Amino acid sequence: MLPTKSNTADQGCSPVSSNCVIWQGPDLSCINLCNGDTISSVVHKVATDLCAIKTSFDLTSLDLTCLVSFCNSVNPAPTTKTLSAVLDFIIKKVCCLNTTIQNLPAGGASAYTEPNIALPTCLQYTDPGTGQTVAVLQHSAYTLRLANQHCTLKATVDSHTTTLATYNTRITALESSVGYVPPTVTPNCLLTPGTPVAMHTLLDEVESQFCLLRTVLGTNQVLTAGIAQQCQNLGAAPALSSSGTISSLTGWNVTSSTVGSAIQNLWVVLCDMRQTIYDLKVAGGQTDCSSFLLGFTAAANEARTQVTVFFNGGGTVIPAGFANCTAQGSKITIKDTSGKVYTDYVNLLTAVTDTDGITYTVTGAALNASQAYTITVEGCLSKSGSSCSKTADFVVSVPCPIISSVTATLT
């Protein structure tokens, strides 16, 4: 139905409702306008967007205070804050700022002097060149030192964090595990040999046995003091049972610093004394051992694989009535300086009449042919049920090398 009233009725226009006029233009998606919409819809949509634009361009509340504070001689802030006036004001301020920057003196940046900043105690350090404590730095150097110290501290913290994480895992595992179970050990001679026991039980027993042993033997200081009681220059003293010194007796330790070596030396001296006492006893009783003399010489072949011992003419004297102590005869040893030993036996009763000597092949003992051979005979003969023992030594030296003549021509 057409409206009956219109403000254009008195102007000769036929009144037509805007709802009856159709928009036949293209679709306008920006204002959601479509072909076929009524003019009423078109005008409403355009008016709505226009009002929104007007509101967004309202600059009455715009604060231009910060722009007024520089280049204030160019122009004051606009009293009417229209878009054109505000843009014009901003453009002029930018141009003023550009001119100001261009008029700055050359080298303005280099003319800037950095302030000095005092270092806190924890950041102070010693200058490697002067050895003086650096307590003040320029701003850039101060900042650089802060950065370096931060990086160092960060690396330390990161390392500690990793370590703590590892510790946390290990502690958690320990807390979650069962209680400590001591390992078992099988003793060989303590407690019940062959029966496994807890390690701490065996340790307690070892300590107990050690304390008992120490009570009997004494402390290390006491044992050392006992070893030191050996007679001074005892090794150089004459032996009693044979010619030579005590140090030449078999088993003598030239250097005695342990209880074992000291006891061994005691036995060597004791056996030497016993033999002498026995000889004295025999001499005062049924058998005169003094008439039995033991001595010999020896020589080696060129390859030093054989050693011939001569008792005949070597100083051995055996009066009538003496016999070997054992069926084997008397013990003979041939030893090189490195300790390799060849052992055999000799019948002194027949050897003393043998002018060719007794030959021993020593290859099986692997003696060192380049070293001297020491030959020791432990003679033992008996008479009337009493034994006479004598010991004699002989050294077969290494022969001197044969030097062939050399003819030299001098030019």
- Of 64-73, 119-128, 367-376, the poorest mean pLDDT is in 64-73
- Which residue bears the tokens 């003992």? 365
Question: Is it the case that residue 409 has pLDDT exceeding 70?
Answer: no
Closest CA to 381 of 352, 411, 338: 352
Closest CA to 364 of 297, 326, 307: 307
Can you point out the beta strands (E) in 163-296?
A: 184-185, 197-198
Cβ pair 68, 76 in contact under 8 A? yes
Question: Is it the case that residue 403 has pLDDT exceeding 60?
Answer: no
pTM for the whole thing? 0.33
Q: Which domains, and CATH codes, for the chain?
A: 16-56 (no CATH), 65-102 (no CATH), 289-399 (2.60.40.3580)
Q: Which residue has the higher pLDDT, 48 or 371?
A: 371
Q: Which residues pair with 38 in a beta bridge?
A: 22
Give me the half-sphere count of Cα atoms (radius 13 Å) on the Cβ side of residue 59.
14
Q: What are phi and psi of 77, to 5 degrees?
A: -65, 145
Query: In this predicted model, what pLDDT tens digit does every residue of 41-95 receive, in sequence order?
Result: 888 888 888 887 777 777 777 766 666 666 766 567 776 777 777 787 788 778 8
Q: What is the pLDDT of residue 138?
A: 92
Closest CA to 336 of 294, 305, 290, 379: 305
**Residue 362's CB: how many other CB atoms inside 10 A?**
21
In angstroms, the CA 29 to CA 35 distance is 11
Q: What is the DSSP letter of 31?
A: G
Sequence-separated (6 or more) residues with CB below 8 Å from residue 330: 324, 345, 346, 347, 348, 377, 378, 379, 380, 381
Q: What is the pLDDT of residue 3?
A: 53
Can you point out the beta strands (E) in 239-368?
A: 297-300, 306-310, 323-324, 330-336, 341-346, 358-361
Query: In this predicted model, what pLDDT tens digit does every residue of 169-226 receive, in sequence order?
Result: 999 988 888 777 889 999 999 999 999 999 999 999 999 999 999 999 899 999 998 8
**In terms of residues, how long is the chain?**
411
- Of 45-49, 106-110, 181-185, 380-384, the poorest mean pLDDT is in 106-110
Q: What is the DSSP letter of 238?
A: B
For 375, counting Cβ atoms within 10 Å of its Cβ (0-12 exposed, 13-18 middle, 19+ buried), the class is buried
Helices (H), 218-360: 220-227, 259-284, 348-351
